[in-house]
Amino acid sequence: MPRKIGLVQHEELRHLVEDVRQWQADELDWSDVSASILLHGPPGVGKTMITEAIAGSTGATFVSTSYAEAQKAGHLGDYLRTMSAHVNRAISSAPAVFFVDELDSYVSRQGSGKNFSTYMHSVVNGLLEQLTKLNDAPGVIVVAATNHLNVVDPALI
């Protein structure tokens, strides 16, 4: 289960980095690594920088995506294909840090309007499928960032 961190504690990040290093040295099973973090706070507080630092400190590949990046690929099928490609890159590059920025773009599927709700339902479900793949992949840390935690679909949290 992800930790919801408003102000990231240096000690928690140090612990995560040490766990990954122990896993790399075959001293710790991946199932014992707390490999997901949810960062939230106003723009400009360093959520992306923290995530890049985790990747750098663990020697992991940094794979970054966002709702907007996947959406610019085109229709829903293209969106889902783009998201899947990023996930597959992270899995094949393990150790990796998979960063989902703008998590607040994945608003609750309880939104208003039938078309909006149906589309977002598909998008959130697609992301949930990809997060499940990442969760099952040893060596992949998942970090998500949002400016507005209150609008994120609860299933993602």
Strands (E) across the chain are located at 3-5, 36-40, 61-66, 96-101, 140-146
Tell me the pLDDT tens digit for each residue of 109-156: 666 566 556 777 888 899 999 999 999 999 999 999 999 988 888 888
d(CA 121, CA 153): 10
pLDDT tens digits along 4-52: 444 556 788 889 999 999 999 999 999 999 888 899 888 888 899 999 9
The pTM of this model reads 0.88
For residue 24, the 8-state DSSP code is H
The sign one gets for the Cα dihedral 124, 130, 133, 138 is: negative
Q: What single letter denotes the amino acid at residue 97?
A: V
